[in-house]
Chain A
Amino acid sequence: MAEFDSSTELVAAAERIRDAGYTKTDAFSPFPIHELDKALGIKRSILPYLVFGGGILGLLSGLGLQYFTHVIDYPIIVGGRPYFSLPSFVPPAYELTILLASFAAVLGMLFLNGLPKPYHPVFNVPRFNLAMREKFFLVIEREDPKFDYEETRSLMEDLNAQEVFEVDE
């Protein structure tokens, strides 16, 4: 793990380790840095597709539920309307669309982020708390296929980092 003083240094360093071929990397900063996604080579999230899928599922289950209750299971005439009256099915189906789409958004986000995560080794480095205030950190994990202790360490020291830490598991 390497510590940096500014966001520009962090982005530059991230670009270098990306170009060196590392994939199991992560960066920490006190505020969002939009360029980081690109600099670390992070692919676009699949979350939008999950949300869309959730919405479609909500729509279909909303319509399906009403069709089952009003037409198949317990047909009853309400206000002289046909059993299958689509206009009145729309509002509940719409609400379920929104509901399942938002569930997909929140739960999908947590799942993709790997949250909640009660333990993470980076907190074993005392200075890491500064990531909440003024410092920027870049991590290469040991599981990275390109990870080689000597090589990775020398690369990190070459990044103009303020300090390079080894993170205990």
Chain B
Amino acid sequence: MSDTYKAPESLNRLQTAALGIGGIGVIACFAGMYLQPEQALRGWLLGFILWAGIGFGGLGILLLQYLTGGAWGVVIRRIAEACSRTIPILAILFVPILLGVYKLYDWANIYLANLAAPADAPVDKVIAWRGWFMDPNFWVARTVIYFVIFGALAYLLNKWSRQQDTAETPEKAAEFLGIATRVSGPGIIVFVMTVTFASVDWTMTLEPHWFSTIWGFLFVAGWALSCFSFSVAMMAYLSTRAPMDEVLGKRHFHDIGKLMLALVMVWAYFNFSQYLIIWSGNLTEETPFYLVRSKGTWGAIGLFLIFFHFAFPFLILLMQDFKRKAKWLAALAVFIIFMRLVDMYYIIGPSPMVGEANLHLLEVPFRLSVWDVVSPIAIGGIWLWWFIRELKRRPIVPFNDPFFENAIKHGKGH
């Protein structure tokens, strides 16, 4: 049975190409980190956040589909599992950021300057007030903890899913589904908390004095959207090839299209909430974030996000016929992944460079370094190579799942 549902051979070519592009790109990025450490590291962070979002998003979707049930969860499960098993490579890809923390984050330098300041000299009060939480060493320790939590959740869910495949009786197989479901409840709470802390540590601290309390949810929704989009593209690719052409039906795409619509809306909702609260509060601690991002080219990118990360996908996904056509949905999904990159660039790009945080700039010139383009491609190549490697290692559907037959029938239905 497990041989029937092997991943198609044609993935091998994609995998080799991804490794080739990724390998060359990563070497270029390392050269960049030697030549222009700060720009290259910011580009690296951009690429990392985009692809890590798909990887961690895979874990989130895995937890979610165990909790909600449904046919879409059964057919997407192995793709989400393979995404969640990219966490080890993501940990390796994070090493340059760990090593370059002083080159990338201004607060790390401010923290050291505060420590070194004589007793009566002025210090950066915001960073000083946060105390040991802003200690770069503790930041590194927290990052390690995040990877351990994400990794442990992913490991357990993948383990039970694997045991389900080899279960001798249907009752045993159902038991593993039960365990995974029971753990997913508390698991998803731990997941959301960890995403909140991780996204604050990795991206929000780029603006050392600024804060937003909805930041974590922006990433929970954004990463889930990233992963759904990636999974749809993958499923559309698989649905024209054996064995998935027998499994996937237009109704599966319809269901996941609806979830994409919901997440596009949630993303816009959270983002607008953040904007509205800061806009109406009109406080000097909060507004610089949007003041900088609403001027010149940054402002144009902001409008571009409203129209093409929200309005355009939203209106298109309202149409039923669109969601039922795998190819169209996949094309939109790839576009959404691109918009996720633009969104992350809009967050990272205008944030202060090292030494700029205490200038409190209200206008930042547009800056797009070559590394902002190269790194997402490079990390994407490496990530995709690892993803396909993981996808091929297991049957491409959980064929022993008690709801497997039903899920196939659902997809073929009206």
What residues of chain A have their CB less than 8 Å away from a CB belonging to chain B? Answer: 34-35, 37-38, 48, 52, 79-81, 87-88, 90-91
Count the B residues whose beta carbon is within 8 Å of the partner chain — how many?
Answer: 10
Residue B279 at the A interface, CB < 8 A?
yes
The answer to whether B282 touches A80 (Cβ under 8 A) is: yes
- Interface flags, B272-299, vs A, CB<8A=1, else 0: 1001100110100000000000000000
Residue B125 at the A interface, CB < 8 A?
no
The majority secondary structure among interface residues of chain B is: helix
Residues in B neighbouring A38, C-beta threshold 8 A: 414
The majority secondary structure among interface residues of chain A is: helix
Complex CA gap A3/B265 in Å reads 47
Residue B365 at the A interface, CB < 8 A?
no
Closest to A33 in B: B414
Contacts A48-B320, A52-B318 given; does A90 touch B272 at CB 8 Å: yes
Complex CA gap A91/B123 in Å reads 41
Complex CA gap A38/B413 in Å reads 13
The answer to whether A88 touches B320 (Cβ under 8 A) is: no
Residues in B neighbouring A90, C-beta threshold 8 A: 272, 276
From the candidates B280, B320, B413, B414, name the one contacting A87 in the complex (CB within 8 A). B280
Complex CA gap A110/B309 in Å reads 35
The answer to whether B276 touches A91 (Cβ under 8 A) is: yes
The answer to whether A34 touches B414 (Cβ under 8 A) is: yes
The answer to whether A88 touches B276 (Cβ under 8 A) is: yes
Please give the distance in Å from B170's CB to the nearest CB on chain A. 27
Please give the distance in Å from A47's CB to the nearest CB on chain B. 11
Please give the distance in Å from B104's CB to the nearest CB on chain A. 32
Closest to A91 in B: B276
Complex CA gap A52/B319 in Å reads 10
Residues in A neighbouring B279, C-beta threshold 8 A: 87-88
21 A/B residue pairs, CB under 8 Å, sorted by A = A34-B413, A34-B414, A35-B414, A37-B414, A38-B414, A48-B320, A52-B318, A79-B280, A79-B282, A80-B282, A81-B280, A87-B275, A87-B276, A87-B279, A87-B280, A88-B276, A88-B279, A88-B280, A90-B272, A90-B276, A91-B276
Complex CA gap A46/B414 in Å reads 18
Closest to B276 in A: A87
Residues in A neighbouring B272, C-beta threshold 8 A: 90
Complex CA gap A38/B272 in Å reads 42
Closest to B272 in A: A90
Residues in A neighbouring B280, C-beta threshold 8 A: 79, 81, 87-88
Complex CA gap A96/B279 in Å reads 22
Please give the distance in Å from A7's CB to the nearest CB on chain B. 13
Please give the distance in Å from B254's CB to the nearest CB on chain A. 13
